[in-house]
Amino acid sequence: MTKTLLSLLVLSVIFAGIFDFWVRTQDTRNTVAKEFVIAGNDAPGGRDSLIEIGEKLEEQGIIASRIYFYYYTWRKSLRGSFLAGRYVIPANSSFAEMTHLFTQGVIKEVKREEITVTFKEGLTLEEMADVVGENDLPKEEFLTLSNTPTADLFEKFPFLREGKSLEGFLFPETYNFFPDASALDIVSKMLVTFEKKVSKSMREDIAAKNKDLFEVITLASIVEGEVNEGIDRGIVAGIFQNRLDIDMALQSDATIDYIKGIAEIKHTYADLEIDDPYNSYMYPGLPPGPINSPSLESIIAAANPSETDYLFFLNNATTGETVFAKTFEEHIVNKANNGL
């Protein structure tokens, strides 16, 4: 009996020693640098206790288990020694390194790894979501939030149209995101960029002309889908404005591309008869909303369309040249001359 108890005692000591060594040499689970906040006395909920710090570390995926954390802090007599502050915990830190930050109050500046993501001009929300997914960012969450924005987004960005998606308002640009960026992080950054690029003075100028920003972005997206050359954008915007003024259908192939989800050089008669509110061949006026994320050049063109007598245009599929016409007869001749 005595030998059995002695054996158990020895095994317990050995096990405790192994467990102690294992915990003391544990690394954190964060594979990238992460921010972590220890609340102080002035925080709304008061100062974080050791129990709360452990819970937060576990919830944020920085440590595998708060139990290990509690044991380590007990073993090192760290209770009550952590200082409030905002910390950056380096990737793959050990418990010793992490708790050293907390006890010394070292607000360590660690440059976090970032992912560079480029959204080209003229992409739809679906195409932007593909780019998000290709960069291992939350594609489905991004698409859901973009299609059904939250009330908070409408409140924070009052230039958005309530009840509409973010199509047209996620500014095409090159961005840097942290690998753990949420859909809200991504969308918010793109909307802030839109707000800066389409500046307050520009939005005020649009309003002073009795124009609606949402309609301007809608027209700009159609211009973006139709032409690439800067000088042509203003003329094409002028042509569409002329058509709107006389209640003539816009007849934009870009809207058919949007409906079908694919860009095509030529469309069939069946395509032009698709019964869809975005079909600008079938329904006069602007479609229900933007069809892509337009460039700043297209937005400027839509806000300030060129005065022109043209009512028709086409793009040469080989040269990319935009050819204009004042009458339908001239347009027919241009189509024949350009292989359309």
DSSP 148: S
* Average pLDDT for the chain: 84
pLDDT given at position 319 = 77
Contact 304/234 with Cβ under 8 angstroms? yes
| The CATH number of domain 23-104, selected from 1.20.1180, 3.30.70, 3.40.50, 3.30.1490 | 3.30.1490
Q: Please state the rounded mean pLDDT for residues 123-145.
A: 96
pLDDT given at position 72 = 80
Vertex 102 angle, CA 97 and 108, to 5°: 70
Reported as type and span, the H/E element at residue 168 is: none
**Amino acid at position 35, single letter:** E
Residue boundaries of the structural domains of the chain: 23-104, 115-197, 200-337
Pairing state between β 34-38 and 85-89 = antiparallel
pTM of the model: 0.68
Q: List C-alpha distances in Å: 98 to 40, 90, 211.
A: 18, 8, 56
Q: How confident is the model at residue 23 (pLDDT cuts 50, 70, 90)?
A: very low
pLDDT given at position 2 = 59
pLDDT given at position 16 = 47
Quick: pLDDT tens for 58-90. Answer: 888 888 778 878 888 887 778 778 888 888 888
Asked if residue 21 has pLDDT above 90, the reply is: no
Comparing 72-81, 150-159, 182-191, the range with the smallest average pLDDT is 72-81
Sole residue written with tokens 């569409």: 240
pLDDT given at position 228 = 76
Residues for the chain: how many in total?
Answer: 340
With a CB cutoff of 8 Å and minimum separation 6, the contacts of 129 are: 139, 140, 142, 143, 146
Q: 223 or 321: whose pLDDT is higher?
A: 223
Comparing 84-93, 122-131, 149-158, 205-214, the range with the smallest average pLDDT is 84-93
pLDDT given at position 111 = 63
Contact 218/168 with Cβ under 8 angstroms? yes
Q: How confident is the model at residue 324 (pLDDT cuts 50, 70, 90)?
A: confident
